[in-house]
Structure formats: structure tokens, C-alpha cells
Chains A and B, each alone.
Chain A
Amino acid sequence: MIDIIMAIVFVLVAPVIGGLVAGIDRKVTAHMQGRVGPSVFQPFWDVGKLFEKENAVVNETQIFYAICYVLFMAFTGALFFSGGDLLLVIFALTLSQVFLVLGAFAANSPYSYVGAERELLQIMAYEPMVILTAVGMFVATRSFNVADIATTTIPVVLLIPGIFLGFLYTLTIKLRKSPFDISTSHHAHQEIVKGVTTEFSGPSLGLIEITHWYETVLLLGFLYLFFGWNPLLAVVAVIVLYLLEILIDNTNARMRWQFAVKSAWLVALVAGFINLAALYFLSGGVS
């Protein structure tokens, strides 16, 4: 069941796709703002540059956490794309996120500290919805295995529209897009400098960038699952939804973290509850 080849393919190819997505994101953003914008390959050059730089650190443990972050993120993605258990994927994702937070804490610096606490708040905000997403998919397809969900003939998104909308909401948080770029942002210089990544520089920062690429691909994979019964539709949907995220990013100001947490919870509670309850009662109470 666990497809090792897919896992290897993910580890090798995901950074390329993720980097391109980031590049296209910047290009589209620039066009939305009436600018030309950088090349779509700019993210690769950025990371290449970071690896040419000196690895200056506050202390060595940061490098350790950065390596763990990328390692477990790649592991999580590999698990997902090889068709593993969705709940296991979610927990592994949390583990890797915690490593980023620990790296920020380890520096013992005010700005990365604020970033770390906000990153934790952010995880706390999206975690319920992400778990409910897995649960919803299980209720819809009777399986936790990504392999089964991706190849199901059931139109998953039609069964769990509420959970889909809720997931879309938290996706903005997970992709660190405005209005929820609260823990690290290119634009929040005044309040948090660079949040969690403030104290990372050079190669360790490069590792974190690569991890974000892995994460983007993994999240797009999550989106794909909602439309798994029709691959063509799924690919189109993923593209459209990502463009929607870019639009949201460019048309919203950054909100306070209180709003991020409260609204994400409210969405998870309302959308998750109504959707799961409806599914439960419509299927005659037989789960």
C-alpha cells in the first residue's frame, strides 16, 4: 500500500514544483499590483543565494532544528503522496511545525520569540479544522488512507462542502497569506521583523524556504483530495483555488492574531459541526 516510489518522487520533485508555485505566486502578485515582478525562477535563485551565504547563527542548535524541520516535512509529504494514513500525516506535519517553533525559541531573541508564540497560536488556530478535514474525508470515503481517498469514485467535496470551506479558510493561515501572515511575513517589519525566521540566516534560512515549498505541495495535495474522483477537475480546482489564495493575499490587510484564532475556530466549529452532523443524520445515524 505504501508506495515507496511515489515517496521518493515527492522528495525529489516537490521542491521544484513548490519553488515554481512560489515563483508564479510572486509573478501573479506583481501583476495584480501593476508591476512586472521577478522571474518565476526567482525563488530558486533566492535559495541558491542563501546557500552561498555565511551560516551565521545565534547558537548551533538552530541549525539542528532547521534540519529537523525540513527532514520531517519531507517525511510528512512523502507519507502523504505514498498514500499513507491521513491522520498520521497531520500529526507528522505538526511535529515538523513544532521544530520550526523550537528553532525560533532556541535563539532566545525577542522577535523570534514573538514569532514562535504567534506560530503556535497559528497552529492552534488551524489544527482543529485540519483534523476535522481528515475526519470528514473518512466519513465521506470510509478510509483514512490517502491512496483510497485520492482514487475514490465518491464526489468528496459534494459530501463535505462545509469542511471544504473550512479547510480553505485555514489554508490561508497555513500558507501564511494575508490577512493571516501573523507569525512571519515579508511585510510586518515594524512589529515582528521576520517573526519565527528572524534569527535564521544563510543556509538555515534556505532550508526553511525549501521546507515551505514542500509544505505548499503537501497542502495542494490536500486540496486535490476533495476532488479526487475526477483528476482533471481536481487539477483545475487546485490551480483556481491557489489563484484565489493569491487574490485574498493581495486584497487583505494583516489582521490581529486574535482575529485569526477566533475566526478559524468559529469556522471550524460551525462548518465542521454542521457538516459532520448532517452527514451523520443523513446516513441514518449509522456511521
Chain B
Amino acid sequence: MTYLAKSPWIFHYDASSCNGCDIEILACLTPMYDVERFGIINTGNPKHADIFVVTGSINEANREVIQNLYNQMPDPKVVVAVGICACSGGVFRECYNVAGGIDKLIPVDVYVPGCAARPESIIDGIVTALGVLEEKRSKNIHSKVVTDHERPERHNHAQGGAQ
């Protein structure tokens, strides 16, 4: 086992979650579950993170953000979709403003379903992610830079000229 698996730093983003899963993620940090035992730290910064934990599904407001945060993480990195909304859109998948699970936008490595996902299953998901992380490192897999093909005009807008 390498150091990577002993020190997974996660970065948690609440896409459009109802906060149910987020509370459960925070519960993992409490004395009850204490994930710091495994060296897991919740960083506030994609540039320090190894594991991208997303709750909630994609909508118009956050697709740009998810894509940006994902691209800013250094390799090797994995994505864990926590909660059924992040996995597939959940009960909101038919909503006019929801595009679906986050795998519509960025490659997801581990799915943790549940509404809300329980802390045990979240921890299990992250431990599974460690295996993927280790595999990516040993095979030297570089993640692709994600661009939002669904919304090219939006992307261009950000690149665009001054006003």
C-alpha cells in the first residue's frame, strides 16, 4: 500500500443537494465515526484534494462549478457521488432544471446511493475509492480535462471578451 491510500483528503461539494447527504458527510467527521482515524481530512480546496465528494444533482447553476472544481484537482483523483441525487438525479431527475446525475458531466468512480446516504456507506464508498485511486496511480492514468459539451456557449462566454 502506498501513502496515497493512507492519507485521502476529500473535497466536498454540495451541488443541489437537500443537505441530507451533507449532514451525513459531516457526521463522518464527528467523534462517532471519526474518519480522521484513516487520515481522511476534509479540505476546503480542490487543489489539495484527492477525492471529490459530490452530493446532489447537476443543474444550470452548478454545472460550470463542478467542472471547474474537477479540473482543478491534481492527479490522481477520484470522484465519489454520494446520495441518489448525485448518482442519477434521484427524485429530481425529471425536473425541468435538473440535468441528471453528475456522471453526465464528470467521470464518476464510486456511486454511494441512499437518501440520505448513511455515514457507514459513505465511509465504505470512500474506502472503495481508495482502491480506484491506487489503481489510477499505479497505472499512471491522467484524468482528462472536462469541458462542458452540453453547454458550449456557456463555456465560451466565460472565455469571451470584456464588457
Residues of A within 8 A of B (CB): 26, 30, 33-39, 42, 45-46, 48-49, 51-56, 186, 188-190, 193-194, 197-202, 205
Contacts and interface: CB of A to CB of B under 8 A. Distances in A.
Given A45-B6, A49-B3, A34 B47 contact: no
A202 B36 CA distance: 20
B47 A42 contact: no
A186 B41 contact: yes
B4 A198 contact: no
A45 B31 contact: no
25 contacts: A26-B36, A34-B31, A35-B36, A35-B37, A36-B34, A36-B37, A37-B36, A38-B36, A38-B38, A38-B39, A39-B39, A42-B7, A45-B3, A46-B3, A46-B9, A49-B3, A49-B9, A52-B3, A52-B4, A53-B74, A193-B45, A194-B48, A200-B47, A201-B47, A202-B74
Interface residues of B, number: 23
B43 interface: yes
Nearest to B36: A38
Closest 7 CB pairs of A and B: A189-B44, A48-B3, A49-B7, A201-B47, A49-B3, A56-B74, A45-B6
A23 to B, nearest CB: 11
Contacts, number: 81
B37 A37 contact: yes
B50 interface: yes
B39 to A, nearest CB: 5
Contacts of A49: 2-4, 6-7, 9, 50
B93 interface: no
Nearest to B71: A56
A201 B48 contact: yes
B75 interface: yes
Interface string B107-133: 000000000000000000000000000
A201 B74 contact: yes
Contacts of B104: none
